[in-house]
Structure 1
């Protein structure tokens, strides 16, 4: 499941018409609008293709000047990040150099991989 927010701009005198079209479309949930013609909505989709279809449909609504995705959430991306974090946690070991009391901290130069670098 993906969820994205979209910022929609319309002319202030057309905002009620655009709001009505958005409500009738069933494409999104309206969360905010103001007298300057800004509307904030969220869309949901099973994947990015469904979200893109909905975004394009919103962009095609009469009197919509612009409609662009602002923020996106993807369960798939979240799960990938969680898996990567868990993998790093499982593989994590303290490098021997950090356990050696005979090596002074000043002798360690970090360059992305602590095990390989000593002065």
Structure 2
């Protein structure tokens, strides 16, 4: 990814394409300045992040990806401004939400019992105060 000034936007996209187009699109998207592919699967999904200096530039990057041959759709999932990201980082660092059992390397995965609400826990951790 490009090195950006202090004030910037970060967003994530899910790009859908035919399975036969995944490799080609992976290369084309990564060649776009400000775009980076992170994950792909056999169903035709590519997870991409965009970094830009403004919302206008962010939308231009999204439209550029949408126009690539083979892209069926490109949907923005999350968008953050650098100040929002910093606030989230600070909130996450303040919290010790990882249970001791998950930090203990001696504990086997078979010994861990889940009985919670993942979405609720994430919402609580990421909530901006």
Q: Partners of 1:41 and 1:20 in 2: how far apart?
A: 12
| Match in the other structure for 1:62 | 69
| Match in the other structure for 2:80 | 73
| Match in the other structure for 2:11 | 4
**Which of 25, 28, 31 is the aligned partner of 1:24?**
31
TM-score with structure 2 setting the length: 0.57
Secondary structure of 1:54 counterpart:
helix
User: Tell me, which stretches of 5 or more residues in structure 2 are unaligned?
Assistant: 1-7, 88-129
Instruction: Please give the root-mean-square deviation of Cα atoms over the aligned residues, in Å.
Output: 1.7
User: Tell me, which stretches of 5 or more residues in structure 1 are unaligned?
Assistant: 82-119
Tell me how many residue pairs correspond in the alignment. 79
Question: Runs of 4+ in structure 1 displaced over 4 angstroms?
Answer: none
Q: Partners of 2:35 and 2:64 in 1: how far apart?
A: 11
